[in-house]
Structure 1
């Protein structure tokens, strides 16, 4: 907590659609919570090995802000049975700043959504995020899978995510 007694959430949106299902699902999950969001599609995060000048690359600024949150939700739609390239690039870069920022003990959830059984079609996403969390000394909590083919109207978010929202809100109460 940032000294004000309120739990502050961060949301990393790995979707190429800043206002699509991933963002709407996160908005539902984090309703009534203090939060900051980073839509990766709106930032320039260079791939590993690319030489960029500091003003061209937003990664360090985002990583610094991520290190300041109390809890983190990472969201991605499924692209070819995996996370988006935007999110993969961001997570790859995180390995280089493990000593530069203190991410330790930040609880992390990963939100994975797609239209074809996300628990089976993208089985590698959660373990990859969990492994990165272990490396950064973050506290990986759980993966939240949502089949977006059943999301047609706003009421469907509640039906798909009510239990998961309660889990995330419990972190606030425990903090």
Structure 2
């Protein structure tokens, strides 16, 4: 099984990435930090193609998805929102499949309170794109730092490992 990790953080190697690397340890994974791609917002004039279609095609080859975002101003990052907005326009052009999809929400701005707003938006989009939304993993990184990941994330890590057998 090959995972795709869509990293919506503006810090490609920050907490979101560290959490995902722990969760997907030992599994084949393509990490896709959105900050490393040029993805124009809806309605912007584009003289040249951006990276969106190429990125979407890469994602369409993955067997499972982990979509990660830190909490920014009580919501997902603008990078992730722009990417998801663009996905709605190509649902019929790119062969998305029924892949297990998990969301990883982390941050120090009360992610347990903001994740309930982020998860339904991504779950609705997953339904539209025919992804199999499974669950949202919420981590308050003001309380959980890398040495303590195992205490909090081991059950989730096991669930993601089991997803490859579905």
RMSD: 1.1
CA–CA separation in structure 2 for the residues paired with 1:121 and 1:83: 9
Q: Is the 8 A contact 1:15 1:77 kept in 2?
A: yes
**In structure 2, what is the equivalent of residue 64 of structure 1?**
57
Normalised TM-score (structure 1):
0.91
CA shift digits 1:115-163 (9 cap, x unpaired): 14312133210000000011111100000000101233x3211112111
The total of aligned residue pairs comes to 166
**In structure 2, what is the equivalent of residue 127 of structure 1?**
120
Gaps of 5+ in 1: 1-6
Note the C-alpha offset of 1:54: 4.0
CA–CA separation in structure 2 for the residues paired with 1:163 and 1:155: 16
**In structure 2, what is the equivalent of residue 3 of structure 1?**
none
**In structure 1, what is the equivalent of residue 162 of structure 2?**
170
Q: Which of the numbers 136, 147, 159 marks the counterpart of 2:129?
A: 136
Note the C-alpha offset of 1:103: 1.3
State whether structure 2 residue 147 is matched by structure 1 residue 155: yes
Note the C-alpha offset of 1:69: 0.3
**In structure 1, what is the equivalent of residue 46 of structure 2?**
52
**In structure 1, what is the equivalent of residue 17 of structure 2?**
23
Structure 1 stretches of 4+ with a deviation exceeding 3 A read none
Normalised TM-score (structure 2):
0.96
Q: Is the 8 A contact 1:76 1:83 kept in 2?
A: yes
What is the SS of the residue equivalent to 2:116? coil
Q: Is the 8 A contact 1:98 1:136 kept in 2?
A: yes
Q: Is the 8 A contact 2:74 2:109 kept in 1?
A: no
What is the SS of the residue equivalent to 1:149? coil
Residue range with higher mean Cα deviation, 117-126 or 89-98: 117-126
State whether structure 2 residue 29 is matched by structure 1 residue 35: yes
CA–CA separation in structure 2 for the residues paired with 1:118 and 1:93: 25
